[in-house]
Amino acid sequence: MTTGPGFDLERLVATNASAAFNRLAGFEVVSAGTGTVELRMPWRDDLTQYAGHLHAGMIAALLDTACGFAAASIVGSVTASHFSMNCLKPALGRCFIAKGTTLRAGRRQVFARAELFAENEQGETSLVATGETVLVPLAG
């Protein structure tokens, strides 16, 4: 289960727990593989924008964190230098699931992308946003 330089589901769970913002927002690491990760965040009324949808900053936070953890599962600690996202539809639901995947892990840059799904009261999920990041591995 431990693959690559330090990959470990427990390690991602610990990284997640060490980030104050992730705790405040209620991010959970649901599962992880080499180069992939799934995060979950239950709906929170205090994380919304003016129209009552999940705030774009939270959509970004979920997508970026999924990308970062997917990269970290291969290369260890990383920092994001570029992030972008497309918001396909209003982010509403009882919880959100972010799935991150590493596209390429180079020595100097890692490319990852992520999808954000909203789960409604019936348990049905739909794609609400996509994102991608360029990350830089930190020196060991």
The residue within the footprint of its own copies, chosen from 79, 94, 120, 124 (CB under 8 A), is 79
Q: Does 73 bind its own copies (CB under 8 A)?
A: no
CA angle 37–39–44, rounded 5-degree value: 170
What stretches of the chain show up as alpha helix (H) in DSSP?
A: 9-18, 20-25, 56-75
Provide the 10 A C-beta neighbour count for residue 18. 9
Specify the stretch interacting with its own copies by CB under 8 A; choose among 3-11, 29-37, 76-84, 92-100.
76-84
| Count of residues that interact with its own copies, criterion CB under 8 A | 51
The residue within the footprint of its own copies, chosen from 60, 95, 119, 125 (CB under 8 A), is 60
Q: For residue 55, what are its two tokens?
A: 């705030």
Give the whole-angstrom CA distance, residue 109 versus residue 134: 7
Q: Which residues bind its own copies (CB under 8 A)?
A: 15-16, 18-25, 45-51, 55-58, 60-62, 64-65, 68, 77, 79-90, 103-104, 108-109, 111, 113, 127, 130, 132, 134, 136
